[in-house]
Amino acid sequence: MAGFNERIKQLIKEKDSEGFELEQQEKQEPDPELELLTPSPFYKVENIRSVPACLELRLPNGTSKAIPYSYILEINHKPSEGIEVISTNKRIRIYGRNLKQLYLLMVAFRIRCIEANIGNDLTEENKPFVKEIAIEDQ
Protein backbone atom coordinates (compact mmCIF):
# COMPACT_ATOMS: atom_id res chain seq x y z
CA MET A 1 0.00 0.00 0.00
CA ALA A 2 2.93 2.33 0.72
CA GLY A 3 4.11 1.95 -2.90
CA PHE A 4 0.67 2.99 -4.14
CA ASN A 5 0.64 6.13 -1.95
CA GLU A 6 4.15 7.05 -3.08
CA ARG A 7 3.09 6.65 -6.72
CA ILE A 8 0.07 8.93 -6.16
CA LYS A 9 2.29 11.57 -4.54
CA GLN A 10 4.71 11.33 -7.49
CA LEU A 11 1.86 11.76 -10.02
CA ILE A 12 0.53 14.81 -8.14
CA LYS A 13 4.01 16.31 -8.05
CA GLU A 14 4.45 15.74 -11.81
CA LYS A 15 1.05 17.26 -12.52
CA ASP A 16 1.87 20.33 -10.42
CA SER A 17 5.19 20.81 -12.20
CA GLU A 18 3.44 20.48 -15.60
CA GLY A 19 0.98 23.16 -14.52
CA PHE A 20 3.88 25.43 -13.57
CA GLU A 21 5.46 24.89 -17.00
CA LEU A 22 2.15 25.72 -18.71
CA GLU A 23 1.83 28.90 -16.65
CA GLN A 24 5.36 29.91 -17.65
CA GLN A 25 4.55 29.24 -21.33
CA GLU A 26 1.40 31.36 -21.09
CA LYS A 27 3.42 34.28 -19.69
CA GLN A 28 5.79 34.21 -22.66
CA GLU A 29 5.33 36.49 -25.63
CA PRO A 30 2.58 35.51 -28.09
CA ASP A 31 3.44 33.36 -31.09
CA PRO A 32 4.45 35.66 -33.98
CA GLU A 33 2.56 33.37 -36.37
CA LEU A 34 -0.71 34.29 -34.63
CA GLU A 35 -2.45 37.55 -35.32
CA LEU A 36 -5.10 39.25 -33.20
CA LEU A 37 -8.07 40.20 -35.36
CA THR A 38 -11.38 41.84 -34.67
CA PRO A 39 -14.07 39.14 -34.51
CA SER A 40 -17.24 39.41 -36.57
CA PRO A 41 -20.43 37.33 -36.48
CA PHE A 42 -20.48 37.42 -40.30
CA TYR A 43 -17.10 35.92 -41.14
CA LYS A 44 -14.42 33.71 -39.64
CA VAL A 45 -10.74 34.52 -40.10
CA GLU A 46 -7.86 32.07 -40.29
CA ASN A 47 -5.83 33.29 -37.30
CA ILE A 48 -2.61 31.55 -38.30
CA ARG A 49 -0.91 33.04 -41.31
CA SER A 50 -1.57 30.09 -43.57
CA VAL A 51 -3.85 29.83 -46.55
CA PRO A 52 -7.19 28.11 -45.99
CA ALA A 53 -8.03 25.72 -48.82
CA CYS A 54 -11.60 26.91 -49.38
CA LEU A 55 -13.89 29.87 -48.88
CA GLU A 56 -17.07 28.57 -47.26
CA LEU A 57 -20.31 30.47 -47.90
CA ARG A 58 -23.09 29.94 -45.34
CA LEU A 59 -26.50 30.95 -46.61
CA PRO A 60 -29.54 31.94 -44.49
CA ASN A 61 -31.50 28.82 -45.57
CA GLY A 62 -28.93 26.61 -43.84
CA THR A 63 -27.05 25.46 -46.94
CA SER A 64 -23.33 25.98 -47.41
CA LYS A 65 -21.06 26.04 -50.43
CA ALA A 66 -17.25 25.92 -50.41
CA ILE A 67 -15.20 27.41 -53.24
CA PRO A 68 -11.50 26.50 -53.43
CA TYR A 69 -9.36 29.63 -53.22
CA SER A 70 -7.38 28.29 -56.18
CA TYR A 71 -10.52 28.66 -58.36
CA ILE A 72 -10.91 32.39 -57.59
CA LEU A 73 -9.94 34.57 -60.54
CA GLU A 74 -10.93 38.01 -59.29
CA ILE A 75 -12.26 39.78 -56.19
CA ASN A 76 -13.83 43.24 -56.55
CA HIS A 77 -15.08 45.67 -53.92
CA LYS A 78 -17.37 48.65 -54.42
CA PRO A 79 -18.57 50.22 -51.16
CA SER A 80 -21.99 50.97 -52.65
CA GLU A 81 -22.46 47.47 -54.12
CA GLY A 82 -20.48 45.09 -51.90
CA ILE A 83 -17.98 42.40 -52.87
CA GLU A 84 -17.95 40.40 -56.09
CA VAL A 85 -15.97 37.16 -56.31
CA ILE A 86 -15.45 35.67 -59.76
CA SER A 87 -14.32 32.05 -59.84
CA THR A 88 -13.83 29.68 -62.74
CA ASN A 89 -17.51 28.69 -62.76
CA LYS A 90 -19.34 30.89 -60.20
CA ARG A 91 -20.02 34.56 -59.61
CA ILE A 92 -20.56 35.34 -55.95
CA ARG A 93 -21.95 38.63 -54.72
CA ILE A 94 -21.75 39.62 -51.08
CA TYR A 95 -24.06 42.47 -50.14
CA GLY A 96 -23.86 44.47 -46.95
CA ARG A 97 -22.09 47.43 -45.42
CA ASN A 98 -18.61 48.17 -44.08
CA LEU A 99 -17.18 45.25 -46.05
CA LYS A 100 -13.74 46.77 -46.69
CA GLN A 101 -12.04 44.74 -43.92
CA LEU A 102 -13.68 41.55 -45.22
CA TYR A 103 -12.46 42.38 -48.74
CA LEU A 104 -8.89 43.00 -47.56
CA LEU A 105 -8.85 39.69 -45.67
CA MET A 106 -10.30 37.88 -48.69
CA VAL A 107 -7.61 39.14 -51.07
CA ALA A 108 -5.04 37.86 -48.55
CA PHE A 109 -6.83 34.45 -48.59
CA ARG A 110 -7.44 34.69 -44.84
CA ILE A 111 -11.22 34.18 -44.67
CA ARG A 112 -12.42 30.65 -43.89
CA CYS A 113 -16.15 31.33 -44.11
CA ILE A 114 -18.68 34.09 -44.70
CA GLU A 115 -22.14 33.88 -43.17
CA ALA A 116 -25.15 35.84 -44.38
CA ASN A 117 -27.37 37.50 -41.80
CA ILE A 118 -30.27 35.42 -40.53
CA GLY A 119 -32.98 37.79 -39.39
CA ASN A 120 -32.96 41.44 -38.42
CA ASP A 121 -30.10 43.89 -38.81
CA LEU A 122 -29.17 44.65 -35.21
CA THR A 123 -25.50 45.28 -36.04
CA GLU A 124 -23.96 48.64 -35.24
CA GLU A 125 -23.70 50.98 -38.23
CA ASN A 126 -19.89 51.10 -38.15
CA LYS A 127 -19.41 47.29 -37.95
CA PRO A 128 -19.24 44.86 -40.90
CA PHE A 129 -22.63 43.47 -41.87
CA VAL A 130 -23.30 40.77 -44.49
CA LYS A 131 -26.89 41.17 -45.64
CA GLU A 132 -26.96 38.62 -48.45
CA ILE A 133 -24.81 36.21 -50.44
CA ALA A 134 -25.86 35.50 -54.03
CA ILE A 135 -24.27 32.68 -56.05
CA GLU A 136 -24.72 32.41 -59.83
CA ASP A 137 -23.32 29.97 -62.38
CA GLN A 138 -21.18 31.58 -65.08
pLDDT tens column, 22-68: 444 445 555 555 555 666 777 777 666 666 789 999 999 999 999 99
Which SS3 state, helix, strand or coil, does residue 8 take?
helix
φ, ψ for residue 93, nearest 5 deg: -120, 130
Threshold 0.85, pTM exceeds: no
Q: 40 or 116: whose pLDDT is higher?
A: 116
